[in-house]
Chains A and B, each alone.
Chain A
Amino acid sequence: MKWFWYASPQTFYPLAGRMAPWFAAAAALLCIAGLYVGLVVAPSDAQQGEVYRVIYIHVPAAWMSMFIYVVMAGWAAFGLAFNTRLSGMMASALAPTGALFAAIALWTGSLWGRPTWGTYWVWDARLTSELILLFLYLGFIALQAAIDDPRRADRAGALLAIVGAVNIPIIHYSVVWWNTLHQGASVSVTRAPTMAAQMLTGLLLMAFAFWMYAIAVTLVRVRCIIREREG
């Protein structure tokens, strides 16, 4: 398998066009299944009642916002190391989706916080980290938008993404240490989850739906970028 064959925008463009509808269809199907399980099948929470159901949007969005930053920084590092044009384009195509998920996570979180904590916003560690993550995304987008030469924009953005990726753990732990009110993580890889099986199923289905959506949208966006730059 010649992996670098698809590293060229010209060959990747048709491939992305063929793959995007499949990922979009998978996203739609998983989203319907996830919402059905989450809103209809899953029981209401013992303490929070129906309010908790916002987690089917909130938690996957928060997961994806963090995951996409890592993927973006990965593409950025790859682009700096191998000087491939497509990597920079992938990084710029991922950024708006990541920022969107970060914004959705904050927004749904505050909608959940109002009835549960009695306030839209608290200076809790996770909320603050997510907000700073959103700022990092916006900084990346703003830097790329301010530079006219696309190659320089790619490389400058790549460096910023890597610096951000190095800093995110430091920021996260400094903020955690500063203040923590958010409930602990309910889903963990290492120990048994503390929620009902249907809830977990719905949550995972929605997470995969968001994942597929992110891939589909990124592929479409990278096609637009290729058309814009390579004409």
Chain B
Amino acid sequence: MLDAALCIVRRDLLLALRRRSDVATALLFFVIVASLFPLGIGAEPNLLRAIAPGVIWVAALLSSMLSLSRLFAADYADGTLEQMLLGAAPVGVVAAAKALAHWLVSGLPLALIAPVLALQYDLPAALYPVLALSLLLGTPVLSMIGAIGAALTLGVRGGGILLSLLILPLYVPVLILGAGSVDMASAGMGGEGQLLLLAALLVGACTLAPWAIAAALRISIE
């Protein structure tokens, strides 16, 4: 069972490595969106410091969503997904492995690069770990919830735009807690409460989401 999961993660990572531009595009999107806000709002340092957590989090949300439509699409098109569902490994494990691979490729880099963007926004250096940690805890939840939407919209007309309509409302708690943790920390109250709640969301998503993803895949494949 674990072998199957490891195999899927390794395969997806290898595929991502062979097609580096896909990964780079999502990451670049994150950087560009975050860089556009100062141009639109103005470069007043106090204002930028105030909006930085929210802007970086919204950009991360959109960037993570952008790569979701590719999560199952290629496997669905060439029949690999059907074979995975027919295989001996439980579908929930397959689903969790796919979501994990998606996070490693699209979520983890965001958390690593976020401090650089925080630098652009003149955020105090003490907040970098909080921001990175909130993204580390929050982006896997985004991948898990997003995978449900991606599985539901497989092969559906206008899948990409529909996907955003389905999952963005479900992303709200992660956004509030993620940006809130940095806001609280910058107000000197410590962001531990929000980070703990984010961790709780992560545990909840890891427990429940694979079931929902598996059910959605079964619905879409049959």
Contact = CB atoms under 8 A, between A and B. Distances in A.
B79 interface: no
Contacts of A143: 152-153, 156, 162, 166
A159 B212 contact: yes
Interface in A174-210: 174-175, 177-178
Nearest to B193: A177
A175 B176 contact: yes
A183 B180 CA distance: 23
Contact of B176 (A142, A148, A155, A174): A174
A170 B153 CA distance: 24
Interface residues of A, number: 27
Contacts of B8: none
A178 B156 contact: no
A146 B156 contact: yes
Bin the interface of chain B by size: 20 to 34
A142 B173 contact: no
A126 to B, nearest CB: 14
Interface string B148-173: 10001100111100100110111011
Interface in A157-172: 159-160, 162-164, 166-167, 170-171
Interface stretch (A35-43, A108-116, A130-138, A221-229): A130-138
A135 B169 CA distance: 7
Q: Is the interface of B mostly helix, strand, loop or mixed?
A: helix
B201 A170 contact: yes
Nearest to A179: B176
B169 A132 contact: yes
Contacts, number: 67
B137 interface: no
B96 interface: no
A139 B219 contact: no
B216 A139 contact: no
B212 A174 contact: no
Contacts of A155: 219
A151 to B, nearest CB: 9
B27 interface: no
Interface string B162-202: 10011011101100110010000000000000000000010
Interface of B: 148, 152-153, 156-159, 162, 165-166, 168-170, 172-173, 176-177, 180, 201, 208, 212, 215-216, 219-220, 222
22 contacts: A80-B215, A138-B165, A143-B152, A146-B153, A146-B156, A146-B159, A152-B222, A156-B216, A159-B215, A159-B216, A159-B219, A160-B166, A163-B148, A163-B170, A163-B212, A164-B170, A166-B208, A167-B173, A170-B173, A171-B172, A174-B176, A175-B176
Interface of A: 80, 132, 135-136, 138-139, 142-143, 146-148, 152, 155-156, 159-160, 162-164, 166-167, 170-171, 174-175, 177-178
